[in-house]
Amino acid sequence: MVTRLVLGCGAVGFDLLQQLPDGDTTVVTDDEPRAESLREASIAAVEGDPTDPATHAPDADVVLVASDDPERNRTVAAAARETFPDAMLVAYAGEGALPETVDAIRETVDRLIDPTEVLADNVLDRAAGFESERARGLHRALRAAEEPIAVVAHDNPDPDAIASAVALCRLADRIGVEAEACYYGEISHQENRALVNLLDLPLVRLEPGEIEEYGGVALVDHSRPGVNDSLPEDTEIDVVIDHHPPRGAVDGEFVDLRSGVGATSTLLTEYLDRFDVPADTTTATALLYGIQIDTKEFTREVSKADFAAAASLIPDVDADTLSRVESPSLSIETVSVLASAIENRTVRDGALSTCVGEIRDRDALAQAAERLLDMEGVQITLAYGFMDDTIYVSGRARGSELDLGETLRDAFGAIGDAGGHADMAGAQIPLGILGETGSEQAGSLAEIVREVVEERFFDALSDAPDAPSPDDGLEYEYAPEGAASMAHPYESGRDDTEDDA
């Protein structure tokens, strides 16, 4: 049950108390008639000085500062922050508050209710939303984590992972916690590079061992260390926020897994709103692009929450920059890979498989797989090549009833790492003994790779599982700290490296 402490109680505070949801609420006020009125309304009220810690409850999940006097609220908020450093602190600015008083309160609290910005009937909605269990859990986990926190996207991050990492860092900064957006691997897809460069996003590329320089670790857009990232598997995780359903157990002080939304950026947009953190132009533009890419322009696995998040972001988006991100020039490598993919294609019953040989940019495969879907009569594509002792596979499906992620897992799960969405998936397969042919025999190596991958792919297609219907969706809600072990029959696998990114 939520434990609330209300310090001071003016007219707005009194109205708020009448309609708060169930919970353990105590009011401290130096207004004797008000205290008596509250007790008559069956609300626990203590007559005393709200600025005196001796009058406060021993513990509280949410602290509301709610007198009508702005200067009084400023003093009470400062005292409450010192007494309850880990609680969610919400303050009403008061009537006729001067700008400098509003600014001072805002710097102290987690959320400010300013009557010049919101109507009185929104006060209840804001307070109720902010004290939601997810928001309180994330707030507590961030403040409890050792600083600085590394907010780690999956390897070779896509726009959803990039935007989510940047947004979580902005949220952490708002509550006074130092955090940096980090990733392993490369940002090689031209649209991803354009996103980072045009918005000048602050990202740190990690090298092996550098994670030790951070105190806490948060994961966004993936959920397990060592799976789809280069973290050690035994890395202790403080925060996990992801929209992909995991196959194995997920551990963390705070875990929010919601497969019912189309993008992790949607979840971070929600948290920014609940923490009353304005989405600046840079963050808003990145988040909107993350939602667009992961939902394939709102046509794949999209939910009402994705539309709502996008609508809330649009007023702050830099449309010109977003347009430039969406239409970067094709790299020479991408054009070369696409040409090889077309030349080397094999098509059977609407499914296209193609080996492009040795590659220098793995993201070019995803673009080739996407563009090959435009060929007449093709509903499923698989583009693959090899680089750095690994075969990289990217698949797409359109107008097909099969579950491509499960199909690739059936085809390649026994020899590599595979998985993804129903219509977009990927795999990574160690070359192993195939690589012993040597680079000087690249042609023969490409032929061996083609035989292995193509045979397994078409065999898996002969008994491919159907895509899940909307009613089959499973969702994980917020898991409180210390109790975040979860399992799910699906695996997000390496699909994030293939998310059109």
Question: 356 is written with which tokens?
Answer: 């492009």
Preceding peptide of 148 cis, ω within 30°: yes
The domains of the chain are located at 3-127, 139-327+477-482+488-498, 332-461
The two beta strands, 24-29 and 88-92, are: unpaired
| Fold classification of 139-327+477-482+488-498 (topology level) | inorganic pyrophosphatase (n-terminal core) (3.90.1640)
User: From CA 78, how far away is CA 100, in angstroms rounded?
Assistant: 15
Query: Given this model, what pLDDT does residue 329 score?
Result: 60
Can you state the angle between helices 32-40 and 11-19, rounded to 10 degrees? Answer: 20
Query: Given this model, what pLDDT does residue 20 score?
Result: 63
Burial of 235 (0-12, 13-18, 19+ CB in 10 A): middle
3-state secondary structure of 47: strand
Taking only the tens of pLDDT, the chain with its 501 residues reads 568 889 988 877 776 676 665 567 888 988 888 888 788 777 888 888 888 877 776 778 888 898 889 999 999 999 999 888 888 888 888 888 888 998 999 999 888 877 655 444 444 445 444 446 788 889 999 999 999 999 999 998 999 999 999 999 999 998 899 999 999 998 877 788 889 999 999 999 999 999 999 999 999 999 999 988 999 999 999 999 999 877 678 889 999 999 889 999 999 999 999 888 888 999 999 999 999 999 888 887 889 999 999 999 999 999 999 988 887 666 778 888 999 999 999 999 999 999 999 998 888 898 899 889 989 899 999 999 999 889 999 999 987 788 898 999 999 988 998 888 788 899 999 988 565 544 445 557 888 899 899 999 999 998 876 655 544 444 444 444 333 333 222 223 333 344 433
- Return the H-helix or E-strand segment holding 78: helix 70-83
Q: What's the CATH code, domain 332-461?
A: 3.10.310.30
3-state secondary structure of 267: helix
Listed in sequence order, the DSSP H helices in 121-158 are 123-130, 133-144
3-state secondary structure of 220: strand
Query: Given this model, what pLDDT does residue 116 score?
Result: 56
Q: 453-485: buried (b, 16+ CB within 10 Å) or exposed (e) per residue?
A: bbebbbebbeebbebeeeeeeeebebbebeebe
Q: How many CB atoms lie within 10 A of CB 345?
A: 17
Judge whether 81 and 109 are in contact, CB under 8 Å: yes
Residue 459 has phi, psi (to 5 degrees) of -65, -45
Query: Given this model, what pLDDT does residue 10 score?
Result: 80
CA nearest neighbour of 113 among 132, 99, 131, 127: 127
Question: 481 is written with which tokens?
Answer: 């700290």
Q: Could you tell me the pTM of the whole model?
A: 0.59
- Return the H-helix or E-strand segment holding 82: helix 70-83
User: From CA 363, how far away is CA 112, in angstroms rounded?
Assistant: 44
**Which residues are bridge partners to 89 per DSSP?**
63
User: From CA 154, how far away is CA 220, in angstroms rounded?
Assistant: 7
Q: Which residue has the tokens 């935007």?
A: 163
Q: What's the CATH code, domain 3-127?
A: 3.40.50.720
User: From CA 80, how far away is CA 272, in angstroms rounded?
Assistant: 23
